[in-house]
Amino acid sequence: MKKATVFAFVIAAFGFLSTEANAQVSSTPATQEQVQQETGKQKITEEELPDAVKQSLKSDNLKDWQVSEVYKVAPDAQTPDARPTYEVRFTNAKQEQAVARFDEAGKPLASAE
């Protein structure tokens, strides 16, 4: 009898946790969108990039990658000399994805992800 009660409790707990996990999954896209807005990311077009960044995108290292999304990332307000950076998301023929960041001068920065 004791085993049956424990077993029933475990099944009920598992069902509750499973329902909770499903609820969390459905709210993820909205959370990602909020994080992007909070971090100062603004989606822009490839044409809006500074010329130096456009030139960097033409390098041989990136020839097999297509630009899929571009973001202008606002500088940190607490840093006095901060300047915006540009986050570029790429996709290749194998549908692999990559992210690169550049400063206004087209210099690659540390990986975004």
Nearest by Cα to 67 from 45, 50, 41, 37: 45
Nearest by Cα to 113 from 69, 60, 76: 69
- Residue type, position 22, single letter: N
Residue with structure tokens 């300047």?
83
| Whole-number pLDDT of residue 111 | 58
d(Cα 4, Cα 13) in Å, to the nearest integer? Answer: 14
Q: What is the pTM of this model?
A: 0.62
> For the chain, percent helix, then strand, then coil, each to nearest 5?
45, 25, 30
Lowest mean pLDDT across 37-41, 50-54, 76-80, 83-87: 37-41
Cα angle for residues 30, 34, 39 (degrees, 5° grid): 150
